[in-house]
Chains A and B, each alone.
Chain A
Amino acid sequence: MNPRHASTFDAVGRTGTLSKADHTRLDALAGELGLIKIGAPSSIQAVLADFRVLSELDSLVCMCPVERTSGWAVERFACDNFPNDTKFRQVSTAFLERAPRRFGWFDAIRPEPAQRNVVLELDDLVPRAELEASPAYAEVLVPLRLEHTFQVRALICESSSLLAWFGAFHSERASPRQIDLLIAMIPAMRRRLSIERRLDLCEMVNAALETVLEQLGVPAYVISATGRVFETNQAGKALLETRRAEVSASLRAALTQAPAPLPFELTRFREHGGEDHWLAILRTKGTDARLAHALGLAASRLKLTPRQREVLDLVIRGAATTTIAAALAISERAVEQHISAMFDRAEVSSRAALVSLVLLGK
């Protein structure tokens, strides 16, 4: 592997093979990528066409493979100047739909660090014989008559995840200037692609976050160091409304690892390039809390009366009939009756089986 990457830049971040005019045009392209016209289609297609004129590379592609339950879907597909752009798109998309995780000499879920955001020529990465034996060769390159071209590409990544495959198919090996031009495009392309992905996914990610927090079933907050509540669930909202002072004191204490009245479990996380945030989950630890949870679940599932619930609360703590009768100030016979009524509802025939059913949450 022989990546020609950003280290080839000179002290002012410019590479030797590029002229002043090249830089001016690159700056204009970066400007175009840095501009979003709200409601208008992405500018990547137009930038690709301009970049082809500048770089004199034969054909250019930028596409984002996204993971599906099987194979890959391709998003934000842009290509320029293939013999037949539509066919290129169809064939490569169809190939990726069934393709494995390593469809092109890199891990498409988490590209290898050495391959991220650098320009690589396929011929440096894989021997021709291996390329010719690959499914990509047979299913994409040959049908599209690209088998004799040279591929040069960058895997544009945001931290460890792949944003796009960006590169060229060229009739000969790319020149140093062409490679430097590709290198120079990476930062602006990365910024743009990252933003487009964020805009695409935001709604679904927000919905998924809300749903996951609700699934936790206990009060949970996503908070910043300054105590801003970014997101919470119904249980969290209710707790904040009824016991705001206690919640805020406990969260503050938890952030400084001081003892707090409410036991929050904190998980620190950070968005790429952002500030620390915490996921705070109120963990009702201890046997009592778990028993209460199991009891609540069983009471609603078996539709128990308040009295049956009281009896069951003691049964699952292992209390004998006499103890239960004394605690609830009812007769032992009444206790037996409540328990046998619960046997019917739970369809069990012994007290041990009832306890097992309730505590296992079956």
Chain B
Amino acid sequence: MPQRSLDDDSAFARIVVRDAEDGRVRFEAEDRGRLAELTDAIGTLHIGSPSILVAIAPATRELLEVDDVMSYCPSEHVEGWGFRHVHFTGSSRFVDGLGDYLGSAPHRFAFYNPTRPEAHQRNRTIEAIAMVNRTEPGGFESTPIYQKVFAPLKMERLRQLRTLICDGPSLLTWFGGLQDRAVTVRQHRLLSALIRPLQRRLSVERRLADGGLATAALEAAIEHTGSPSFVVSRTGRLLAANASGRELLEQDRATTRELLALAARGRAHASFELVPLREPGTAAAWLVLMRVSTAEQSIARCEATAAERWTLTPRQRSVLKLLIGGDSNARIAASLGIGERAVELHVTALLDRAGLDGRAALVACVLSMRR
């Protein structure tokens, strides 16, 4: 059977979404009680404890009456995919098989985009295999995941009832059950009832797990912007600054703070660049980059390098500095208070030193210098 890529969106044409997010769904008293217990456990986080997904797996399995419960989240590696977390109440051979497959799997290794699940798949209960026909071309049985994971483990008859729990567009976990019989409406609704509490819980877990690393990464990255940089919120909160930014704050406290206060209100100013943060939340913030005229810095650096290389006189240096800044002979003469003829002579001497035969070539040569 020809393998068909999972990148093909037509596989989703017959997606089956039985939307059970209706708050008025009635459960039987026993289900209601067990659901409430589970929801309570999900809503209570003990600092330092492992993910709730492991703890609730047995109770979820009993409640849903599925054969096994699974949760996993793929994580991107430079080589391919790995598990961010994985927990399965059934055979470890399935987890191993899936892990091996993920290591060299294509970007879209299953029926969803793993870095940014499609909006219509987020936080919904879906019978994953019912989304695609099992046997026709492009159906489940023609996919690599079926041929490499499900079939060899004789798990090909299993049905999946799952939800992709997401925080905004990003995947928190794949969560659901597997069984060898048809999924019931009751199972569908019970799993749906767990989505919201799990989403809130796992968002908190994700922030706790990644928040420190994100802060440390931000501190490292902001040092590479090449200019004094700050992150300020609209309320004037100073969230981050790099070393040169801190230095500027120390040196010229009042002025810098005034400029930052302006920036916090989203007001532009000639000496800095404001980049709004792409943020889904409410309080907007800005990345403020102080642009200490990089052109002037480059001119100074290149002119100094050339002066050292060609041992230039102070006057030649002054001429060169203005020349690489783009000034004409007339302007150079005016700036330095000398005659145009004198400028021409200096330029000729510079060309001589450089072994070049045109002003443009000289400018190109000097501005391409690196220390």
Q: Give the CA-CA distance A222 to B215 in the complex, in Å.
A: 12
The residue on B at minimum CB distance from A252 is B78
Q: A38, B43: Cβ atoms under 8 Å?
A: yes
Inter-chain contacts of B210 with A (CB < 8 A): 202, 206, 230
Inter-chain contacts of A252 with B (CB < 8 A): 78
Binds A, one of B27-35, B60-68, B272-280, B310-318: B272-280
Complex interface bits, B190-234 against A, C-beta within 8 A gives 1, otherwise 0: 000000010011001001101111111111111111000101110
Inter-chain contacts of B261 with A (CB < 8 A): 69-70
Inter-chain contacts of A204 with B (CB < 8 A): 231, 233, 239, 277, 279, 281, 283, 285
Min Cβ gap A276→B in Å is 10
- Given A208-B285, A359-B367: A66 and B47 within 8 A (CB)? no
Q: A318, B216: Cβ atoms under 8 Å?
A: no
Min Cβ gap B350→A in Å is 12
Q: B326, A231: Cβ atoms under 8 Å?
A: no
Inter-chain contacts of A81 with B (CB < 8 A): none
Min Cβ gap A31→B in Å is 9
Query: Is A94 an interface residue, CB under 8 A from the partner?
Result: no
Q: A315, B364: Cβ atoms under 8 Å?
A: yes
Inter-chain contacts of A192 with B (CB < 8 A): 47
- Given A318-B365, A350-B359: A68 and B217 within 8 A (CB)? no
Q: A201, B211: Cβ atoms under 8 Å?
A: yes
- Given A279-B221, A353-B328: A210 and B278 within 8 A (CB)? yes
Inter-chain contacts of A247 with B (CB < 8 A): 78
Inter-chain contacts of A293 with B (CB < 8 A): none
Query: Is A216 an interface residue, CB under 8 A from the partner?
Result: yes
| Chain B interface extent, by class | 35 or more
Q: Which of B200, B362, B368 is close to A287, meaning CB atoms less than 8 Å apart?
A: B368
Query: Is B5 an interface residue, CB under 8 A from the partner?
Result: no
Q: Give the CA-CA distance A68 to B193 in the complex, in Å.
A: 42
Complex interface bits, A175-208 against B, C-beta within 8 A gives 1, otherwise 0: 0000000000000000110010011011111111
Complex interface bits, B275-311 against A, C-beta within 8 A gives 1, otherwise 0: 1111111010101010000110011000000000000
Complex interface bits, A20-55 against B, C-beta within 8 A gives 1, otherwise 0: 000000000000011111110000000000000000
Q: Which of B79, B201, B213, B231 is close to A227, meaning CB atoms less than 8 Å apart?
A: B79
Inter-chain contacts of A271 with B (CB < 8 A): 212-213, 215-216
Q: Give the CA-CA distance A273 to B232 in the complex, in Å.
A: 26
Q: B360, A267: Cβ atoms under 8 Å?
A: no
Min Cβ gap B46→A in Å is 6
Q: Give the CA-CA distance A354 to B364 in the complex, in Å.
A: 10
- Given A274-B213, A355-B360: A36 and B204 within 8 A (CB)? yes
Inter-chain contacts of A270 with B (CB < 8 A): 216
- Given A69-B238, A70-B236, A279-B220: A315 and B360 within 8 A (CB)? yes
The residue on A at minimum CB distance from B212 is A271
Complex interface bits, A248-284 against B, C-beta within 8 A gives 1, otherwise 0: 1001100000000000000101111110010101000
Query: Is A76 an interface residue, CB under 8 A from the partner?
Result: no
Q: B360, A351: Cβ atoms under 8 Å?
A: yes
Query: Is B37 an interface residue, CB under 8 A from the partner?
Result: no
Query: Is B264 an interface residue, CB under 8 A from the partner?
Result: yes
- Given A203-B281, A360-B299: A198 and B44 within 8 A (CB)? no
Query: Is B335 an interface residue, CB under 8 A from the partner?
Result: no
Q: Which of A73, A240, A290 is close to B368, meaning CB atoms less than 8 Å apart?
A: A290
Min Cβ gap A247→B in Å is 6
Q: A216, B225: Cβ atoms under 8 Å?
A: yes
Inter-chain contacts of A19 with B (CB < 8 A): none
Q: Which of A67, A290, A352 is close to B326, meaning CB atoms less than 8 Å apart?
A: A352
Q: B47, A356: Cβ atoms under 8 Å?
A: no
Q: Give the CA-CA distance A209 to B225 in the complex, in Å.
A: 12
Q: A36, B232: Cβ atoms under 8 Å?
A: no
Query: Is B363 an interface residue, CB under 8 A from the partner?
Result: yes
Inter-chain contacts of A277 with B (CB < 8 A): 213, 216-217
Q: Give the CA-CA distance A72 to B87 in the complex, in Å.
A: 45
Q: A352, B359: Cβ atoms under 8 Å?
A: yes
Min Cβ gap A92→B in Å is 18
Q: Give the CA-CA distance A3 to B325 in the complex, in Å.
A: 60
Query: Is A140 an interface residue, CB under 8 A from the partner?
Result: no
The residue on B at minimum CB distance from A250 is B78
Min Cβ gap B25→A in Å is 21
Min Cβ gap A294→B in Å is 9
Q: Give the CA-CA distance A185 to B226 in the complex, in Å.
A: 43
Query: Is B240 an interface residue, CB under 8 A from the partner?
Result: yes
Q: Give the CA-CA distance A228 to B210 in the complex, in Å.
A: 13
Query: Is B90 an interface residue, CB under 8 A from the partner?
Result: no
Q: Give the CA-CA distance A100 to B362 in the complex, in Å.
A: 52
Q: A73, B218: Cβ atoms under 8 Å?
A: no
Inter-chain contacts of B201 with A (CB < 8 A): 38
Inter-chain contacts of B48 with A (CB < 8 A): 34, 191
Q: Give the CA-CA distance A342 to B201 in the complex, in Å.
A: 59
Q: B225, A359: Cβ atoms under 8 Å?
A: no
Inter-chain contacts of B323 with A (CB < 8 A): 352, 356
Q: What are the nearest 3 A-B pairs in CB distance?
A: A356-B326, A318-B361, A207-B279
Other CB < 8 Å A-B pairs besides A39-B43, A202-B210, 4 of them?
Answer: A37-B44, A274-B216, A356-B367, A357-B326
**A residues engaging B (CB < 8 A)?**
33-39, 66-70, 73, 191-192, 195, 198-199, 201-213, 215-216, 220-223, 226-231, 240-241, 244, 247-248, 251-252, 267, 269-274, 277, 279, 281, 287, 290-291, 315-320, 348-357, 359-362
Q: List 21 A-B contacts (CB under 8 A).
A: A35-B45, A38-B201, A39-B43, A39-B200, A68-B237, A191-B48, A198-B208, A198-B212, A198-B215, A201-B211, A206-B214, A227-B77, A230-B210, A267-B224, A269-B216, A272-B216, A274-B212, A274-B216, A279-B217, A281-B224, A316-B364
